[in-house]
Amino acid sequence: MANSITKTKFQEIKEKTEKFIVGNYSRHEISFEYGVGEYLFDSEGKQYLDFQSGIAVTNLGHSEADIIAALQEQADKLFHTSNLFYSKEQAELAETLIAHSFPGKVFFCNSGTEANEAAFKLARKHSVKKGISNPIILALKGSFHGRSTGAMSMTGQEKVRQGFGDLVSGFHFIQENDIEDLEKAFSKHSGHIAGMIVEPILGEFGVLPIREEFLKRARELTASEGAPLIFDEIQTGMGRTGKLFCFQHYSFTPDIMTLAKGLGSGFPMGAVIIGEKFSNVLEPGSHGTTFGGNHLAAKIGYETIRVLKTRDILNNVPALSEFFFKRLKMLQLKFPETIREVRGIGLHIGVELTIPVKSIIKKCLENGLILNGTNEKVIRILPPLNIGIERIDEAVSIIEKVFEGENLK
Ligand SMILES: Cc1ncc(COP(=O)(O)O)c(C=O)c1O
């Protein structure tokens, strides 16, 4: 007998997903079909305001014309050859990354995890070359650096580390924003320190900015050990905080910076910017990847930076951010028992609640607003950098309506 119940497009996608794809993600009951600017449209035609940007990836919104044109132009010519040959696109992207960050060289890879893995290997290799027998890398307790064995071992958050048996040894975790703990770690491991890795804003830990004094002290202490200070700018980079890179808010420079997410505007790619002091540590054979910085990825990365730097996008972020914070703080005044703190830099915003955010995120989605929950009680807001101020108003009004509907105080 023929099945008389017609499935929706979404039901078909969901059924196949559950049958054929590993269940390591908990997914919302939505499948998107296309996107235009700050809007996404699902399989059933419903429109959403995207204030998650694929977790800080589509910083220019969806279907950005110049990115599509660059992709199409390159796709017509050449996708991939391998790192056994020179590449014009790769060389040009490296040149522009260095011009906009600090003097040094670039290593290309395919994701944030791989960028951190490369930085980790570089730091260890450098210290072993120096004759350090048991190198220690310092990281933060609330950090998230990725899911490979190395990047996971470098991650402080227990929930990421648990369940895999013994991890890579040689890490010491410091309490974020605690200068005393930072200094203690440096004096305990002095002479053995291979490097320190820091996210300037702990994204997966609830959008927690690291204070400038702490970062500055980390800069001084790593310099005195001759060890690299590594900034993980995978989430904070590519304009998210209003500067191309978050370190540019401060008066000092890291030795190494890892990038991914927004670098490819949705095309998977990663990069490690390695300052001059450390740029010759990785020699032929010591590290590599097949795809890293292939012609297509590099072309899109270059175009992403060109668009960010030549349009008035970054200059507008402070005003957008100020308006967003003002509206969210007004919301906090209305719901003082529910909203504990509004924090972040630029358009990297966290709203910490006193309650879990899961059902709030779900209700916002039902009302056509895509947000992201992180660290259980934090609403993470990552809109495209080129949105209009009216969209911010619209988003906060949806959050307000959801709070009211839930009878929050
Ligand atoms: C700060 C930070 N580092 C590393 C990663 C890992 O990047 P990927 O998921 O591209 O491997 C992430 C991803 O969320 C991140 O936010």
Å from CA of 379 to ligand 1 middle: 18
Q: Would you call 193 helix, strand, or coil by DSSP? A: strand
pLDDT band at 169 (very low <50, low <70, confident <90, very high): very high
Residue 343, CA atoms < 13 Å, CB-side half-sphere: 15
Q: For residue 83, what pLDDT is reported?
A: 97
Condensed to tens digits (0 to 9), the pLDDT of residues 119-132 reads 999 999 999 999 99
Over residues 345-368, mean pLDDT: 98
Confidence at residue 4, expressed as pLDDT on a 0 to 100 scale: 61
Cite the DSSP H helix spans in 228-316. Answer: 295-310
Confidence band for 276, pLDDT divided at 50, 70 and 90: very high
Query: Which protein residue's CA is at the shortest distance from atom 16 of ligand 1?
Result: 235
Listed in order, strand segments (DSSP E) in 43-191 are 47-50, 104-109, 136-140, 171-174
Is any ligand 1 atom within 6 A of the Cβ of residue 145? yes
Mean pLDDT of 272-294: 97
Confirm if 57 and 382 have CB atoms less than 8 A apart: no
CA of 348 to the centre of ligand 1 (A): 15
pLDDT range class, residue 71, cuts 50, 70, 90: very high
Beta-sheet pairing, 208-209 with 201-202: antiparallel
Residue 195 phi/psi, 5° resolution? Answer: 160, 170
How many Å from the N-terminal Cα to the C-terminal Cα in the chain? Answer: 54
Residue 354 pLDDT more than 90? Answer: yes
Q: Is the pLDDT of residue 265 over 90?
A: yes
- Hey, whose CA ends up nearest to atom 8 of ligand 1? 112
CB 113 less than 6 A from any atom of ligand 1: yes
Give 23's contacts (C-beta < 8 A, 6+ positions apart). Answer: none
| Mean pLDDT across 246-252 | 98
In this prediction, residues 265-286 reach a mean pLDDT of 97
> How confident is the model at residue 106, as a pLDDT?
98
Amino acid 133: pLDDT: 87
* pLDDT value at 2 more than 80: no
Nearest atom in ligand 1 to the alpha carbon of residue 233 is 1
Average pLDDT of span 374-388 = 97
Query: How far is Cα 218 from Cα 185, in angstroms, rounded to an integer?
Result: 11
Averaged pLDDT of the chain = 97
66 neighbors 303 (Cβ within 8 angstroms): yes
pLDDT at residue 1 greater than cutoff 70 = no
Q: Pocket of ligand 1, candidates 59, 140, 145, 160: which has the most ligand atoms within 8 Å of its Cβ, to mutate? A: 145
Determine the residue type at 286: S
**Which of 169, 125, 108 has its CA nearest to residue 297?**
108
Residue-wise pLDDT tens digits, 197-230: 999 999 999 999 999 999 999 999 999 999 999 9
pLDDT value of position 364? 98
* Number of helices (H), then strands (E), in the chain: 13, 17
Cα–Cα distance measured from residue 347 to residue 239, given in angstroms and rounded to the nearest whole number: 9
Domains of the chain as residue ranges with CATH: 9-60+313-405 (3.90.1150.10), 66-310 (3.40.640.10)
The beta-strand segments (E) located in 187-281 are 193-198, 201-202, 208-209, 229-232, 256-259, 270-275
Does the Cβ of 204 fall within 6 Å of ligand 1? yes
The pLDDT score that the predictor gives to residue 344 is 98
**C-alpha span between 202 and 208 (Å, rounded):** 5
Q: Is the CB of 117 under 6 A from ligand 1?
A: no
**pLDDT for 5:** 79
Q: Which of 1-5, 173-177, 188-192, 339-343 has the lowest mean pLDDT?
A: 1-5
For atom 3 of ligand 1, the residue with the nearest CA is 145
**116 CB under 6 A from ligand 1?**
yes
